[in-house]
Amino acid sequence: MNTLAFSAIVCAASFCAGFLGSLTGLGGGFIVTPVLTLVFGADIRYAIGASIVAIIATSSGAAAAYVREGFTNLRVGVLLEIATVVGALIGASLTTVLPTHVIAVVFGLVLLQSAYLITRPRVEHLNSVRSPDDLAARLKLDSSYPTPEGEQAYRVRNVPGGFGLMGLAGVLSGLLGLGSGAVKVLAMDRVMHMPFKVSTATSNFMIGVTAAASAGIYIRHGYVDPGLAMPVVLGILGGSMVGARLLFATPTARLRLLFAVVVAGIALEMIYHGLAGSI
């Protein structure tokens, strides 16, 4: 396969990854890293390096649209980035010392747990009628977002729990090149009781900053190959912009199902190859 054909195929796969990553808030890295590793045989560290650079593009492509449409909770995103940036620096440092098959198994287990948790039903807007959370109220984190029936208010809860889980999300982002969107969405959706679409949009806003925090470490160790990263960035950026346009019209139940099915399949592949030592 020549360089042009390779770049075109990687770009097409990255477009699909960016599209799904934008709709689910995962950031695209959850597909790009396994595809580069399992299909094209790239070293997982170089795949993660390309993924991290692409995640920054994904965030740039989708976040602006979500902010403009009123889905993103900027106050929550900025607050939680404090934890994820610190975690990302720690995770990126661990990548240089852990074996690749260990990274692959951890990658798969994280995604498998995320797929399971996101399918557990939770009634949207239930917290909009509860009394406000004291810390969230002081930080003015409560907000609203657009729905077909008009603006829907919601309350943010359990800020310390979400902040702590975001630290773990940052570690996983730096270690696995995921942008840690899976954990971020779960933290906001399950722990902080934010609506799923708001969690997805806010995750897209955050993942670029988290990825940028760890990208420097990958670049310093030589794990970012421009020839591999360029088609990934172009594909994911295009896909994320298309996905951002479809979020408003897509039912939440379908987003959850899409999230779970795609992530579970990739998780099982990564765990299998990691345990088999073929990565």
Q: What does the pLDDT profile of the chain (279 residues) look like in tens digits? A: 678 888 898 899 888 887 877 776 665 666 787 788 878 888 888 888 888 887 776 666 667 777 888 888 999 999 998 998 888 888 878 877 778 788 778 878 877 876 776 676 554 544 444 567 888 889 989 988 888 788 889 989 889 999 988 888 788 777 766 656 667 877 888 888 898 888 888 887 887 777 777 777 788 888 888 888 889 888 887 887 787 777 666 676 776 677 778 778 777 877 887 888 766
Among candidate residues 53, 62, 4, the one with its CA nearest the CA of residue 33: 53
Judge whether 192 and 156 are in contact, CB under 8 Å: yes
pLDDT at 125: 46
Distance, in Å, from the CA atom of 245 to the CA atom of 156, rounded to the nearest integer, reads 25
* Residue among 244, 258, 251, 181 nearest 22 (CA): 244
Cα 41 from chain centre? 23
Q: List the alpha helices (DSSP H) in 70-119.
A: 74-95, 100-119
The token duo for 151 is 């603006």
Q: What is the pTM of this model?
A: 0.68
Can you give the pLDDT at residue 131?
67
3-state SS assignment for residue 13: helix
- Per-residue pLDDT at 60: 66
Exposed, middle or buried: residue 220 (CB in 10 Å: 0-12, 13-18, 19+)? exposed
What confidence score (pLDDT) does residue 248 get?
Answer: 62
What pLDDT is recorded for position 252? 64
Is residue 239 within 8 Å of residue 18, measured between CB atoms?
A: yes
- Kindly report, residue by residue over 146-183, the tens digit of the pLDDT: 887 888 899 898 899 999 888 887 887 777 666 566 67
- Looking up tokens 């765990």 gives 271
Q: Per-domain residue ranges for the chain?
A: 3-276
Cβ partners under 8 Å of residue 251, min gap 6: none
pLDDT of the residue at 160: 92
* Whole-number pLDDT of residue 52: 80
